[in-house]
C-alpha cells in the first residue's frame, strides 16, 4: 500500500504509512483560518505544539491579540477530569508548551516577555506573551524539540552514567529526585505503579475517558489530531494492526483491554535505569507552569544521550496511592511527575499526532 498525503490548504503535515496510520512528514500546515501569521510566528507555534501532554490532549489554545502578542489559554474541552480533576496535569502540559515556545522564539532571535495572569488552574487566560527581536538571545537547537518523544518500551536496566546524570540533573537538583534501580525505593515505585494502574484500569470513569482519547482508526486520527494512536502507544505488529482495524471505544471498557493495559505496565516496569520524581515548591499556577517547563527542559536533553523518558502519572492520579508514596519516600514538596528513565538501543522518531496551528488559534473575542 502506498502512503497517502493529507493536505489542508496545500501543505502536507502527515501522510499515511504502509500500516495505515498518520506519520509526521512536514511542518507548518495551513488550515484555512483567517488569522494571517508570519512565517516566524507559524514556526514558533508549530514547535510549541510539539510539547508533551497527558493523553496527548493538547489542552492549550492561543488567543491572538496582534502579531507577536498572544495569550496562552487553557482549553477546557481538552481537560481530563477523570484522571486530572484539578487540572494539575493540564497546567504542567501548558508549561511544557511555553518552554518549547520560548526556545523556538529564541532560536529565531526573539526575546520573550511573559506575564502570568491566572490564579487558578481553571482560568482560561493563563499567560500573555510578547515577542520582540533582540540581540544576544541564547540560540537553541530546535531539532531537539522536533525529535523529542515519549518512549515506553525496550528500556535497558543499565545504570545512568555519572556524566549523563551531571548533564541532565545537576542544574536543578532541588527539584529532581533520582531513584536508581538498585535502591529499595525503586521496586517500591514499580509496585505502586502497577497498583495505581490496576486501580485506574478498573475505575470506569477513568477508563471511559481514556477510551475517548484513543484514536484507533485513521479517520479518527485525521479528524482529531489529538489523543493516543496505536503507534504512539507502541502497540506494534499484528496486535497493532488488529486494534486499528477491529477496535473501537467500547472495546476499551472490556476486561480483556484493561488486563492488557496492566500487563503492559508490568512489562514496562521490569526494566529502566531509574525513576525520576519532579517536585515543585508549591501548587500555584506559577509553580505548575515552572515545573512543566523544567520537565520539558530535561525531556529535550535526554535523546542526545540515548536516554528515554516515560511519564507514568497514575500514582499521582490515584490520590491515596500518591500520598502513601510521598510519605514512604519522605518527600515533602508536592510531587508533580513520576517518570521512568533509561537507556534504549533504538530511539524511534516521534509519531504522536498534533493539531495544525489554525485549529488552536483564535482571535480575541471570537469563539
Ligand atoms: C502531564 C503529563 C502526564 C503524562 N502521563 C503519562 C502517563 O501516565 N503514561 C504515559 O504513557 N504517558 C504519559 N504522558 C506522555 C504523553 O502521553 C505524551 O506526551 C503524549 O502522548 C504525546 O506524545 P509525545 O510525548 O511522544 O509527543 C504524560 C505527559 C504529560 C505532559
Bridge partners of 115?
A: 128
pLDDT tops 70 at residue 35: yes
Give the Cα separation of 341 and 170 in Å (integer): 16
In a domain, 298, yes or no: yes
In a domain, 186, yes or no: yes
| Confidence at residue 11, expressed as pLDDT on a 0 to 100 scale | 34
| Confidence at residue 6, expressed as pLDDT on a 0 to 100 scale | 33
- Indicate the pairing of strand 214-215 with strand 176-180: unpaired
355 lines ligand 1 (CB under 6 A): no
Between the CA of 52 and the centroid of ligand 1 the distance, in Å, is 6
Q: Do 59 and 126 reside in the same domain of the chain?
A: yes
> Left (φ > 0), alpha (ψ -120 to 50) or beta: where does 266 sit?
alpha
| Residue 354 lies in domain | 35-148+350-363
Q: What is the pLDDT of residues 161-180, one digit of tens each?
A: 999 999 999 888 899 999 99
| Confidence at residue 41, expressed as pLDDT on a 0 to 100 scale | 97
In a domain, 72, yes or no: yes
Q: Do 176 and 268 reside in the same domain of the chain?
A: yes
Q: Do 303 and 205 reside in the same domain of the chain?
A: yes
Q: What is the pLDDT of residues 176-199, one digit of tens each?
A: 999 999 999 999 999 999 999 999
Q: What is the pLDDT of residues 117-173, one digit of tens each?
A: 899 999 999 999 999 999 999 999 999 999 999 999 999 999 999 999 999 998 888
- Provide the whole-model pTM: 0.94
Environment class of 20 (CB within 10 Å of its CB; exposed 0-12, middle 13-18, buried 19+)? middle
Averaged over 79-95, what is the pLDDT?
A: 98
Nearest to 62 by CA among 80, 85, 45: 45
Give the Cα separation of 315 and 236 in Å (integer): 26
Between the CA of 55 and the centroid of ligand 1 the distance, in Å, is 6
Between the CA of 53 and the centroid of ligand 1 the distance, in Å, is 5
Ordered DSSP codes for 292-343: HHHHHHHHHHHGGGTEEEEE--HHHHSHHHHHHHHHHTT--SPEEEEEEEEE
- Higher model confidence: residue 24 or residue 300? 300
Averaged over 313-329, what is the pLDDT?
A: 95
Q: Is-contact 101 47, C-beta < 8 A?
A: yes
In a domain, 81, yes or no: yes
Which CATH number characterizes residue 185's domain? Answer: 3.40.109.10
Q: Is-contact 351 153, C-beta < 8 A?
A: no
Give the Cα separation of 127 and 132 in Å (integer): 16
Write out the H or E segment, with its range, that includes residue 268: helix 255-269
Q: Do 184 and 205 reside in the same domain of the chain?
A: yes
> Left (φ > 0), alpha (ψ -120 to 50) or beta: where does 87 sit?
left
Between the CA of 177 and the centroid of ligand 1 the distance, in Å, is 19
268 lines ligand 1 (CB under 6 A): no
In a domain, 157, yes or no: no
Domains: count for the chain: 2
| Joined grid coordinates for residue 354 | 498534533
**Residue 282, number of CB atoms within 10 A of its CB:** 11
1 band by pLDDT with thresholds 50, 70 and 90: very low
Q: Is-contact 273 160, C-beta < 8 A?
A: yes
pLDDT tops 50 at residue 27: no
Amino acid at each position: 500500500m502506498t502512503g497517502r498525503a493529507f493536505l489542508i490548504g496545500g501543505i502536507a503535515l502527515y501522510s499515511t504509512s504502509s500500516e495505515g496510520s498518520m506519520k509526521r512528514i512536514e511542518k507548518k500546515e495551513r488550515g484555512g483560518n483567517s488569522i494571517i501569521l508570519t512565517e516566524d510566528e507559524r514556526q514558533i507555534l508549530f514547535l510549541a505544539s510539539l510539547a508533551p501532554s497527558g493523553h496527548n490532549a493538547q489542552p492549550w489554545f492561543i488567543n491572538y491579540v496582534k502579531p507577536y502578542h498572544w495569550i496562552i489559554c487553557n482549553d477546557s474541552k481538552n481537560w481530563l477530569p477523570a484522571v486530572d480533576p484539578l487540572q494539575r496535569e493540564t497546567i504542567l502540559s501548558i508549561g511544557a508548551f511555553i518552554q518549547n515556545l520560548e526556545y523556538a522564539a529564541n532560536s529565531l532571535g526573539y526575546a520573550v516577555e511573559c506575564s502570568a495572569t491566572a490564579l487558578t488552574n481553571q482560568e482560561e487566560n493563563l499567560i500573555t506573551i510578547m515577542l520582540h527581536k533582540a540581540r544576544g538571545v541564547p540560540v537553541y537547537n530546535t531539532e531537539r524539540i522536533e525529535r523529542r518523544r515519549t518512549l515506553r518500551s525496550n528500556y535497558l536496566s543499565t545504570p545512568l552514567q555519572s556524566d549523563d546524570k551531571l548533564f541532565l540533573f545537576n542544574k536543578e537538583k532541588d527539584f529532581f529526585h533520582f531513584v536508581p534501580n538498585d535502591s529499595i525505593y525503586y521496586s517500591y515505585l514499580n509496585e505502586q505503579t502497577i497498583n495505581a494502574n490496576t486501580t485506574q484500569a478498573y475505575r470506569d470513569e477513568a477508563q471511559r475517558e481514556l477510551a475517548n482519547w484513543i484514536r484507533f482508526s485513521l479517520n479518527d486520527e485525521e479528524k482529531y489530531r489529538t489523543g493516543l494512536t496505536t503507534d504512539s502507544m507502541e502497540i506494534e505488529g499484528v496486535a497493532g494492526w488488529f486494534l486499528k482495524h477491529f477496535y473501537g471505544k467500547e472495546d476499551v471498557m472490556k476486561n480483556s483491554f484493561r488486563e492488557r493495559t496492566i500487563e503492559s505496565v508490568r512489562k514496562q516496569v521490569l526494566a529502566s535505569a531509574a525513576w525520576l520524581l519532579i517536585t515543585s515548591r508549591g501548587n500555584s499556577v506559577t509553580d505548575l507552569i515552572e515545573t512543566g517547563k523544567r520537565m520539558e527542559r530535561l525531556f529535550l536533553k535526554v535523546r542526545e544521550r540515548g536516554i528515554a523518558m516515560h511519564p507514568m502519572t497514575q500514582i499521582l492520579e490515584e490520590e491515596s496511592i500518591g500520598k502513601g508514596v510521598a510519605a514512604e519516600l519522605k518527600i515533602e514538596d508536592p510531587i508533580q511527575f513520576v517518570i521512568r528513565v533509561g537507556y534504549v538501543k533504538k530511539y524511534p522518531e516521534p509519531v504522536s499526532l498534533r493539531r495544525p496551528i489554525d485549529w488552536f488559534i483564535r482571535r480575541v473575542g471570537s469563539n
